[in-house]
Structure 1
Amino acid sequence: MKQKFTSLLFFFFFLFSFAHAQVATTDTNKVNIIRANFLYLKPEGQLQILSGNVQLSQNNTLFYCDSCIINSSANTFEAFGNVHINDSDTTNVYANHLNYVGNKKMAYLNGNVRLSDGHATLTTKQLDYDVASKIGTYHNGGKVVNKKSVLTSREGVYYTDIRDIYFKDNVELKDPAYYLKTDSLLYNTETQVARFIAETFIKDSAGKTITTKEGYYDVAHSRAEFTSRTTIKDKAMTATGDRIASDDSTGIIQIEGRGVLIDTAQGVNILANRIFANKKTSAYLATQKPLMIIKQEKDSLYVTADTLFSARLTDLYKNSDSLLKLIGVKEKDSTNRYFEAFRHVRIFSDSMQAVSDSMFYSFKDSIFHLYQNPVVWSRKSQMTGDTIYLYTKNKKADKIRTFENSFMVNEVQPGVYNQVKSTRLDGYFKEGVIDSVRARGAAESVYFIQDKDSAFTSVNKTSSDVLDVFFLKGEVYKVILRSSVKGTLFPISKKHPSEMHLQNFQWLEEKRPKTKYELFE
């Protein structure tokens, strides 16, 4: 009995000495035994079997398990049950089973694998974890949970030291605020920034969708930037551009490079190289060759300028309740919007064209206010004045008013012009074509009279207080003088058309937009 006790004491003394020797080694790749309830050493001395609260170490990495088999010559071990790797106190990995290659510092884990970096937790069936580089790789599906965000993919690489995860193949990110689907995604668990490197689809809880190929989305701050051709769609607006930056907290969207903004509520498209939009105020600013298209079935209206701006009328007149009541605008009214254009304004439709230095348009009254050297053309007729109001109905020209220094020119043929000059002109359109004009205040006119064969017979120069001009198919066919009439009828042989120009006459055909394609240049 005493001999058995002495042998048992010698065995435990040998186990303590062996474990102590393993801890004291200076080999940085050597796997050391820290503790175990039981140890069995095979006679060859190469295999050690440990069980019960097993703890091993390699440098700053700790390994825990229920039992394991160590091959000391190969510097490998296999662990079973409640496997836990604590890597430098920053990363924890859990599994049912582990194969570890000490010289390569590679851990091959399977069975309910979990990896946590303190911010997010990855779960998968199998994981290859490189202890040296702190990189975990899975190939058979994985899920990462970070606060309320859940990411899944077929394959993934987890860079635990920098908190980056590269997801690949059937990637999905689900969050209470949005859903994302792509083929490749780089996600940082600390900053909660997702970077896209493949075709990506995003949909938020409000129904807004984003289609892109490259960019990032900051989940924590609801900010995003896209650096390839991207489209953002919501209920009232669609934005497309080569580069888009979006901040949901402020509602600001910045579009650069072949930008397109579609206001679906108003049927208006904005094209520009740079566009700023505020979703909270429904305002947008377009620069760098901006073009506005007011869509209609047959004759869309195109407007270009150096700068285009649009916002709500209620924001424009918010400090004047009496004015808001007067114009009858309500916050949620579809007509609660206006446009402004600054510098080099050009307007084109098939039936009407115009230029000016600046413009204001209200959807409430459908009036174009043209300022500073405005010119409006309708077929062969041209109107100028200090200020012009162009009224539209169903998005077609309905009537026109010119104020101060009003002048209308109607081209009969090159070099021959009918003319009307007055303080104010009021013109009326029919089906988008000029139908009649009334001139008031020191009205003057020059009118070339033709016979049935369209040969010129005479020219009439008159003045009156009020003068009416009537058109047929866009050409003058009758002039009526209402009061205080004075005039002279000249035989056509006595007056050359160039002599029959009223004071301040000008024919500005070179400024006229000829086609809508000119506006894109």
Structure 2
Amino acid sequence: MKFYVRTGWELRCLFGLLCLIPVTLFGQIKPKANPVSPAEVSEDTTKSDVINIEWADVFTYTYLEEEDDTLQRLVGHVELSQDTLYMYCDSARVLNGTFLTALGNVIIQQGDSISIFSDSLVYRSDTRQADLFGDVVLVNRGQKLFTNHLHYDLNTDIGTYFNGATITNDTTFLTSKKGYYFANTDEIFFKDSVVVFDSSFTMRSDTLKFNTKSRIATFLGPTLIKQDSTSRIYCESGFYNVRTKEAEFLDNPQYMGEDRIALAQKITYDGSKKEVVLEGKARIKEGSRIAKADRIRYEEDNEISRLEGNAWSKDSARIVSADTIVYRSKEKTYATRGRSMVADPPRFLYANQVDYDEGRETGLATGDVVWRDTSERLSILCEMADYDQGRDFIKAFGGNGIYDRPLFITEIDGDSLFMAADTLISVQNDTTDTDSSRILLAFHDVRIFKTDLQALCDSLVYQSRDSIFRLYDAPIIWSDTTQFKADTVAIQLANDQIDRIFLVNNSFMVNSPDELFFNQIKGKNSTAFFVEGELSRMKVEGNAESVYYALDDDGAYIGVNQALCSEMLLLFGNNEVEGIKFYAQPAATLFPMDKADHEALKLPGFTWEVARRPNGLADLFHSPPVFETRIIPENKIPEGVKDSDFLPSKIPPELTSPPKNNER
């Protein structure tokens, strides 16, 4: 049985004759000049599997007896519907009222937001499954999907493509070989060769989910983001918010720039704050500088880098470690908090905090400060220290928590020499590279202790070039049973041992093995010579005077000799006077022990100041030291990291290759 309709007017005339035929065979025909607006249609609560024919210029109905099928052919301005779904095309074929094949200018409208355009359509109304071919365009509010084959499930509003597609949203373009479009949730799932183009970046991924409403891209596989010609970010999971420019990169995240590499367990970016945060084993290599920390935060606008937790940094000049390090690039400064170390070999600085100006090369270290020069084998301990990296200068003041004022320590003859003063200054002298020299200045109440030498003065200068300590303002030195005094005293070292002591102006030496009788040597200038750390001889020049108590072989006193001479030489053994050699003509008098007035024999200027003599480290300070359990840092550079630790792991080559023509 066959009916042929040439025009819409003839179709309406024949409608009455066909009313006996079940309506399900070929649908309803209603004259409409324009497509139905979705807003004008109320949703039918009872869904039908039948395709309704709303309009066609030409209609043909055929009943296929052998197959027991009905076939409707529609040509010209075809309008079809099923519940709230409307379809438009140039021509269509409807088999059994449920299977539609549409050709030419195909349009699908569902609800008030989704429209799909294509060259052809195959649709099953019973399963509500549609396949669109040709130049397919899906429009959902402001988003558009372009492909050549789209499978669309109208039950779930999920579109699927397998031959590549492009999604546009404002200035963002997304392409992939496969994908799923979830219209209800505004989400698109991209798979295989995913490329995202935006005005500020290009993204390539293996698998990606993108929410077109929130404009959040979620990485579900290896992903590479290129921000410009030199910088890129790689990760294997995370997300990026195109609108707010907030991002989180996980699973082997890496940042690579022109001369910068950054690695961490997690990298986050806040576009509103312009802040990048690296968390978990964070590492950055930029030029010659390497930084590590539990967490690294970088503020782009302020150019501030914060290394938090086990912070460590190394550049061509120094190594810095602390609990926290803050770099301010604009101001060219850095600050540390927590126990800190600044290593500029052979010099090392330890403190509870350090503030440093790289432009001026000056800094301030505070809190339990320890400064060491391993080449000179000397250390300074204090509470606070000013230092100048350019001049290699450090000024120490205040106690370090154990002692109440700065302490200087150096090694001489395998033994430590300790010196305390109100202020200590160490500076590299302006000399040639082949003749470097360090100067140490100590002033106000200087006290020195070594097991075989002790000293007091008000100020002191030490120069490493000649290895001489110069003591000023009422200096006094003790060595074993001998006391030395003069207006100025100099101690010269040789081979890390005391070699000579120079007494300049008003020199006075007192020696007493028993503190009952006192050998005395007085003169203008004197020089004491030491051998293997023991006093060997002493030369006195200018108005020399001596009082010498002679001993017999059993060590008993036999008399006292008083002498005047322009020069004399005293010989010592076991730190006791063994003999005197006079130059020119001496004036000497020998007194028996029982006839001598021992008090009268004390030369003018005689003092025996053993009560002031430091007997231990504690005597160098104003108050007793407060000892507590602590770890003293060792004299070595902490182990660094190799450059290979900062090389990124392998990135899949498909992410680094340029996009193909159909992906651009």
Q: Alpha carbons of 1:171 and 1:116: their partners in 2 closer, same or farther (altered >3 Å)?
A: same
* Structure 2 match to 1:239: 349
- 1:54 matched to which residue of 2? 167
Q: How does 1:327-406 map to 2 (within 5 A)?
A: 331-406=432-507
Deviation at residue 71 of structure 1 after TM alignment: 4.1
2:411 is the counterpart of 1:295: yes
**Alpha carbons of 1:162 and 1:147: their partners in 2 closer, same or farther (altered >3 Å)?**
farther
**1:322 paired residue number:** none
Tell me, in whole angstroms, the C-alpha distance in 1 between the residues paired with 2:273 and 2:613: 61
Q: Is 1:18 aligned with 2:18?
A: no
Q: Is the 8 A contact 1:356 1:371 kept in 2?
A: yes
Larger radius of gyration: 2
Distance (whole Å) between structure 1 residues aligned to residue 141 and residue 325 of structure 2: 46
1:501 aligned partner:
602
Distance 1:16 1:53, change over 3 A: farther
Q: Which ranges of structure 2 fall in alignment gaps of 5 or more residues?
A: 1-55, 58-74, 80-87, 90-104, 116-139, 399-404, 626-664
Residue 383 of structure 2 aligns with an amino acid whose one-letter code is: N
- Note closer, same or farther for the CA distance 1:514–1:308 as it changes in structure 2 (3 Å cut): same
Please give the per-residue CA displacement for 1:460-509, whole angstroms capped at 9, x wherever unaligned. Answer: 33333323322111112223444453444444345564454222221222
**Contact in 2 for aligned 1:412/1:418 (Cα 8 Å):** no
1:146, 1:510 → 2: CA distance?
69
Which residue in the other structure is 1:459 paired with?
560
Cα distance change on mapping 1:229 and 1:364 into 2, 3 Å: same
Say yes or no: does 1:65 pair with 2:160: no
Shift of 1:437: 1.8
Aligned counterparts of 1:437 and 1:145: Cα–Cα separation in 2: 72
Please give the alpha-carbon distance, in whole angstroms, between the structure 1 residues aligned to 2:226 and 2:261: 14
CA distance in 1, matches of 2:174, 2:213: 20
Aligned to 1:5: 77
Distance 1:477 1:13 in 2: 123
TM-score (norm 1): 0.79
Contact 2:305 2:327 in 1 (8 A): yes
Instruction: Tell me which residue corresponds to 1:136.
Output: 247
Structure 2: distance between partners of 1:372 and 1:420:
20
d(CA) in 2 for partners of 1:167, 1:497: 82
Which moved further from structure 2: 46-55 or 345-354?
A: 46-55
In structure 2, the partner of 1:278 is 388
One of 420, 424, 445 as aligned partner of 1:304: 420
Q: Determine the structure 2 residue equivalent to 1:263.
A: 373
Query: Are 1:173 and 2:284 counterparts?
Result: yes
Gaps of at least 5 residues in structure 1 are 21-30, 316-329
CA displacement 1:107-138 (0-9 Å, x = unmatched): 42234535578896432122134679864223
Q: Following TM superposition, by how much is the alpha carbon of 1:434 offset from its aligned partner in structure 2, in angstroms?
A: 1.7
Alignment partner, residue 512 of structure 1 = 613
Q: Distance in 1 between matches of 2:509 and 2:610?
A: 13
Tell me how far apart the structure 2 counterparts of residues 187 and 150 of structure 1 sit (CA, whole Å).
14
1:29-54 deviations in Å (ceiling 9; x for gaps):
xx943444579875447446799653
Aligned residues: 489
User: Structure 2-normalised TM-score?
Assistant: 0.64
Q: Distance in 2 between matches of 1:366 and 1:482?
A: 31
Given that 2:475 and 2:489 are in contact with CA atoms closer than 8 Å, whether structure 1 keeps it comes out as yes
CA–CA distance in 2 between the matches of 1:144 and 1:286?
Answer: 42
Tell me the CA shift for residue 194 of structure 1. Answer: 3.3
- Mapped pair 1:203 → 2:275: no
CA contact (8 A) 1:435 1:474 kept: yes
Residues 107-256 of structure 1 aligned to structure 2 (within 5 Å): 107-114=217-224, 121-129=232-240, 135-205=246-316, 208-218=318-328, 223-256=333-366
Does the residue aligned with 1:123 lie in a helix, a strand or coil? Answer: strand
Give how far 1:379 is off: 1.1
Deviation at 1:142, TM superposition (A): 0.8
Q: CA deviation at 1:185?
A: 2.7
Cα distance change on mapping 1:257 and 1:117 into 2, 3 Å:
farther
Aligned to 1:24: none
Secondary structure in structure 2 of the residue aligned to 1:202: strand
Q: CA deviation at 1:273?
A: 2.6
- RMSD value over aligned CA atoms? 3.8
Contact map agreement 1:113 1:127 (CA 8 A) in 2: no
One-letter identity of the residue aligned with 2:279:
K
C-alpha contact (below 8 Å) 2:436/2:465 kept by paired residues: yes
Q: Which amino acid aligns with 1:18?
A: S
**1:431 Cα deviation (Å)?**
1.7
Query: What residue number does 1:320 align with?
Result: none
Q: Residue 143 of structure 2 contacts residue 212 of structure 2 at CA under 8 Å; is this kept in 1?
A: no
CA distance in 1, matches of 2:195, 2:542: 98
Which residue type is aligned with residue 507 of structure 1? Answer: W
Residues in 2 aligned to 1:344 and 1:244: alpha-carbon distance in whole angstroms: 28
The range that moved more, 223-232 or 416-425, is 223-232
Cα–Cα, structure 1 residues 400 and 43, in superposed 2: closer, same or farther, change >3 Å?
A: closer
In the TM superposition, residue 286 of structure 1 has moved relative to its aligned partner by: 2.6
Q: Do 1:91 and 1:160's aligned partners in 2 also have CA atoms closer than 8 Å?
A: no
Checking the alignment, whether the CA contact within 8 Å between 1:120 and 1:189 is kept in structure 2 is no
Deviation at 1:406, TM superposition (A): 1.6
Measured in 2, the distance between the counterparts of 1:32 and 1:344 equals: 85
Shift of 1:423: 2.0
Q: Decide whether the 8 Å contact of 2:253 with 2:263 is kept in 1.
A: yes
Tell me the percent identity: 22
Q: How far did 1:388 drift?
A: 1.6
User: Within 2, Cα distance between the matches of 1:230 and 1:339?
Assistant: 24
2: CA distance, partners of 1:334 / 1:144: 46
Alpha-carbon distance between aligned partners in 1 of 2:215 and 2:189, rounded to the nearest angstrom:
13
Question: Do 1:117 and 1:163's aligned partners in 2 also have CA atoms closer than 8 Å?
Answer: no
Larger CA deviation: 116-125 vs 400-409: 116-125
Tell me if structure 1 keeps the 8 A contact 2:351–2:368: yes
Q: CA deviation at 1:151?
A: 0.1
Asked if 1 retains the 8 angstrom alpha-carbon contact of 2:195 and 2:202, the reply is no
AA matched with 1:306 = D
Q: After superposition, give the CA deviation of every residue in 1:202-259 in whole Å (9 maximum; x if it has no partner).
A: 33346x4444332234567764322122333344322322223444444445433232
How far is the alpha carbon of 1:95 from its aligned partner?
4.5
Distance 2:609 2:202 in 1: 78
